[in-house]
Amino acid sequence: MSSQKIYHSISEFFNSINLEIEQDFDFTIHSLDKLHGEKAISSPFFRTNYVAFLLIASGKGHYTIDEHWFELKPRSFYFTLPGHLKSFTIEENWQGYMLTFSMEFLRSNYPGNVDQDFPFLLKETVPVMYLRQQDYQRINRLCEVFIQEYNGNSTFKKRIVANQLVTFLFQTKELLLSHQATISLANRPTEIAKSFQAALNKNLLDITKGNAEYIWNVQDYANKLTMHPNYLSTIIKSQTGKTVKQWIDERIISEAKSLLNNTDLSVAQITYRLTFEDPSNFSRFFKKKTGLTPAKYRTS
């Protein structure tokens, strides 16, 4: 399972199946009929490092995520999260929209608390929602506005799209409350991965609030979950395609970028907020992961 391909952007995935799309930044929205040909298609199993939302107006198919299978039909609305093993099949060509974004894009452009405001982006698999007509129309209108702005040439396109994404996510949150969408994940490795990600989110949230003294390492998470660190590492790698350290480093970088984009804190202040010992260590870590120093990232 760990050998499955991981795609870091929607354009990277569709290029792999010989369908080309344009992507200017870590957000996309496209009409579904532009993302497939005339014939029915089935994707290989794959993982992504981005969030994908699909609204299906017409067509027929299904998708799988981890050990779960879901039917897709008109007025289906669903999303998939980073790290999960998934595939999809289009039996009758779909009409609708596909929206994708990275968690880094959201965190960098949203001044609020992503973990608290949009917890559904950090939890377990959520089943497909089959929308009532009025709910479908509301989400469809949002997607139409997205398309118009995304294909426009505004100087502020990225910021406009980011603000619209926040509206879209709050609308999704409201829909989830009304649909009471839940799923039973009895599989033990899946439960371990879910518990690890919840603990990771809490530790980083505590760090940014000043309620934790240091960023946890593999041993700390193993202690929390009462298991050997090697076993935890094996489970997380097999379930998500990434190591525990990769998950930790990506979250640190995501939080750092959010602080650089959304606060006036100096690099030194951000260094200590994220519990690094000195700014030089933090700058080296940040540059190794992003190719830019924190100061250059802030002004880029």
pLDDT of residue 35: 64
* Collapsed DSSP state (helix, strand, coil) of residue 40: coil
pLDDT of residue 182: 44
- Helix-strand-coil split of the chain, %, nearest 5: 50, 20, 30
Residue with tokens 């990225």: 158
Q: Which domains does the chain have, with CATH numbers?
A: 6-179 (2.60.120.280), 188-299 (1.10.10.60)
In angstroms and rounded to an integer, the radius of gyration of the C-alpha atoms of the chain is 20
pLDDT of residue 177: 83
pLDDT of residue 184: 42
pLDDT of residue 39: 65
Residues forming a β-bridge with 81 = none
In this structure, the number of other CB atoms found within 10 A of the CB of residue 31 comes to 14
d(CA 179, CA 86): 23
> Shortest CA distance to 7 belongs to which of 30, 38, 28?
28
pLDDT averaged per 10 residues, the chain (length 300): 62 68 79 71 82 94 82 93 85 91 92 89 80 95 94 91 96 85 53 86 88 92 84 87 93 92 93 94 95 92
> CA distances (Å), 13 to each of 49, 128, 134, in order?
11, 22, 32
